[in-house]
Amino acid sequence: MGNVRELMARLGPSTVKFDTGRGGMPDLTNQDIAAALGMVPAGLGRELLEACWWPDGAALRRHRLRDAVIALVTPELRRQQRKLADARTDLGLAEVCMGWAGVVTAEQRAERDRAAHRLVQVKAQCWPISTLESLPTLAAAVIGEIAKCPHCQGCEGRGETMSGELLKICKVCRGSGLGAVSDRRRAVAIGRDEAAYRRTWKPVFEWLLTRMVEAEQEAAWHMRSALGQAA
């Protein structure tokens, strides 16, 4: 993936230094690179590839990145809201049943306790209420992490390691090529303190990061393939 990222950076005006062929890459013109980028399927991955590695180009159509992030998050938010509404309804029904005939049975009480417990569990699994408002900040922090994250030391950012004669997915980074980033650094990136990050924001941040890394890598693969670089 490293080559694709360098090529993307080469499209930026400030990185002309990449214009000399590197690492056995054939000499490609910026038009070749732009054409290969055009072969990457539209969607989150391509937007991320551009936002991470070609900031000047992506800046021109930020709304497409925004739309792609919203499209990624919306089904999960709706799923959580439905689950929460169901759990609330179940608890309400259990409570109604308890008082229905005057006498409360042990079974009814147990049913109510189960429903109450379930609601607590579901609430704990839901993202914070303010996730939507915080989405621009979260997305920017995730993109910044993908773009600036140090390489994984296990595979030097390649995502793969040699095992004998076989290429294997790197176990340290699980193929992402990205080095570990601390909770403290992520908290700073989204403007929260570390305790608040761990308590409230960590699950949604990691959810976004996992999916955005996957999407960006898939797009990078398409681009590499379009450039005739596929293994």
Write the binding mask 210 to 229 for Zn ion: x where contact by CB under 5 A, - elsewhere: --------------------
Q: Quick one: 209 exposed, middle or buried, by C-beta within 10 A (0-12, 13-18, 19+)?
A: buried
- Which single residue is written with the structure tokens 């013109």? 29
Count of beta carbons in the 10 Å neighbourhood of residue 78: 10
- Distance (Å) of CA 169 to CA 23, 145, 159, 163, 174: 21, 21, 6, 10, 6
Our CB check for Zn ion shows the closer of 40 and 213 to be: 213
Q: Give 139 or 149: the residue with its C-beta nearer to Zn ion.
A: 149
Q: Which of 172, 188, 190, 196 binds Zn ion (CB under 5 A)?
A: 172
Q: Determine, following the binding rule CB under 5 A, whether residue 4 of this chain makes contact with Zn ion.
A: no
Instruction: Choose, by CB under 5 A, the member of 7, 48, 142, 170 that binds Zn ion.
Output: 170
155 binds Zn ion (CB under 5 A): yes
- The count of chain residues that interact with Zn ion, using the rule CB under 5 A, is 6
Structure tokens that stand for 110 in this block: 């147990």
CB 175 to Zn ion: min, Å: 7
Considering only 154, 181, 196, 229, the residue that binds Zn ion (CB under 5 A) is 154
**CB within 8 A of 53, min separation 6: which ones?**
4, 5, 8, 9, 147
| Binding flag, residue 152, Zn ion (CB under 5 A) | yes
Closest CA to 198 of 111, 120, 128: 128
Binding status of residue 115 toward Zn ion by CB under 5 A: no
Q: Is 146 in the site for Zn ion (CB under 5 A)?
A: no
CA–CA separation, 26 vs 140, rounded Å? Answer: 33
Q: Binding of Zn ion at residue 173 (CB under 5 A)?
A: yes
Sites for Zn ion among residues 22-81 (CB under 5 A) = none
Residues in touch with Zn ion (CB under 5 A) = 152, 154-155, 170, 172-173
